[in-house]
Structure formats: C-alpha cells, structure tokens
Structure 1
Amino acid sequence: MASRTANFCIDAHDPLSQVAWWDQVLDDFEADEENTEEEAGLRGPAGRWLLFLKVPEAKTVKNRMHICLRPVDRSRDEEVERLLGLRATIVNDLRDGDKGWAVLQDPEGNEFCVLSTRADEAGVALL
C-alpha cells in the first residue's frame, strides 16, 4: 500500500491572514474552525489540505513546490486580474495568447501559478 496526502504545509508569519487570503482564492476549500495563530488550515474536498504554520524566519528563496490553479468560471487572464486585486503580485508572466501561465505570489511571497482554463486551451468561450 502507498501513502496518501494528509496535507500540504506552508510556512507563514501570520497563518490566520494566509488562510483568510487563500479562502478568497480557492472555492473548493474553507477555513477550519479550529485555526490558531500558530497553525491555521483550509479544508478541501478530502480533508485538511493546506496548512499554514507560523515560523519566525522570512522567506528567502523560491518555493521548491507550489500550487497551480485552474480557473473554473472565468478565463485565466480574468483570474489573474482578480488575484492582483486581492494583493497577489506577478513574479513571471509566461502567458502567450491562450497558452502559458502566470506565476504570482501571495501576500507573504509564496509562489503559485494560474493556468489556462480547459476552455481557453480548446478555444471555447466561457459563458
């Protein structure tokens, strides 16, 4: 038997504010009721999935692992604009028409990608 994912941990200066921010980003996750200033999480479809742990040190290098998002009800570019409005910042814009992706950072500097939607890739307009 193989292992199963229990959660993904992300270091944070302020776990509660990270959960509040990511809760606005992800529609299939919700903030856990037992969050504390030391450890805060978002529960996904299969249980706790994103867990933010308080650490004293600042982020100093690029993430070795990151989250990739695929918008559900808007285009990739519309989702990038929405996230920029939530205080994300662009690290690397690799969009080329309907192909490619954008690398962004959350308010604490953790990188994540916004991919094209399946409709974008197929050339189908979203309703």
Structure 2
Amino acid sequence: MACRISELVLDARDPERLAAFWREVLGYVELGREDGSIEIGPPDTGFGGPQPTLVFNPVGEPKAGKLPLHIDVNPTDRDQDGELARLLAAGAVPADVGQTGEENWHVLADPEGNEFCLLRKRLPTV
C-alpha cells in the first residue's frame, strides 16, 4: 500500500484572502470552515478526490523565510502567457528568487508572499 497527498495545509494571516486567491487560481470551491480554518478543493469531488484540497489555518504570524515546500501550477485551458496574465490579475505578483531570465517558468507570490511557480506545460483538467 501507499499513501496519497489528500490536503496541503498553509498557515495564513488572512485565510479569507488566501482562500479566495487560490480558489481563483485553481478553480476550487470552498468545502468547509472549522475553527477559523477554510478548506478549498475541486468542485464535485472535494476531499478525497484525485487532487489534494488546501486548508488555510489562521495564525498571527506565519513562519518567515523560505519554506521547504512550494506549489507549482500548470495551465489547463490556455498557454503560459495567458495564464500568467490571469494569475497577475487575480493578485499574484512576480517574485525574484535569483532567476536568470532563461527559465521556462515564472516565479510568483500569492497575496501573503508565498512563492509558487507557473510552469509552461499545459495539462489536461482532472
């Protein structure tokens, strides 16, 4: 037997804002709330489906510095340039982590500064 990633849990100063941002990015819906935490996930399948859900836990001050984990996303219904424009309009900002400009991905940050990458390859929706 093996395990499967079912949830990714992120500390957040403003769970509402981050949940709204990531719902827009991923096309997720709100699945539930408990003790100030907000869980979002794929519509129709929710928790336990093929994609992990995201849980935003309220904390006064999330851990500072580079996290050992970041999220990579791929476009599903447009090319990378079109998806970059959509993510920037949703509130992402470019992030500088020492890129050379030759990479085939974009490094962005969500509204609380958490870095994530927009990769080039278009993937089918799940």
What is the one-letter code of the residue matched to 1:55? V
Q: How many angstroms does 1:42 deviate by? A: 0.8
2:24 corresponding residue in structure 1: 24
Q: How many residues align?
A: 115
What is the percentage of aligned positions where both structures have the same residue? 36
Larger Rg: 1
Structure 1 spans left out of the alignment, 5+ residues: 120-127
**1:52–1:106 Cα change, 3 Å:** same
CA distance in 1, matches of 2:81, 2:71: 17
When normalised by structure 2's length, the TM-score is 0.78
Deviations 1:61-86 (A, max 9, x none): 12211111110111112211211112
CA distance in 1, matches of 2:53, 2:95: 24
Mapped pair 1:2 → 2:9:
no
Q: 2:38 aligns with which of 40, 47, 61?
A: 40
Q: Name the SS for the 2:111 alignment partner.
A: coil
Q: Given that residues 12 and 58 in structure 2 are in contact (C-alpha distance below 8 angstroms), is that contact kept between their aligned partners in structure 1?
A: yes
Structure 2 spans left out of the alignment, 5+ residues: none
What is the one-letter code of the residue matched to 2:59? V
Q: Given that residues 40 and 53 in structure 2 are in contact (C-alpha distance below 8 angstroms), is that contact kept between their aligned partners in structure 1?
A: yes
1:57 corresponding residue in structure 2: 61
Which structure ranks higher in relative contact order (CA pairs < 8 Å, sequence separation ≥ 6)? Answer: 2
When normalised by structure 1's length, the TM-score is 0.77
CA distance in 2, matches of 1:25, 1:101: 16
Q: How many angstroms does 1:109 deviate by? A: 0.8
CA distance in 2, matches of 1:49, 1:38: 16
Mapped pair 1:87 → 2:91:
yes
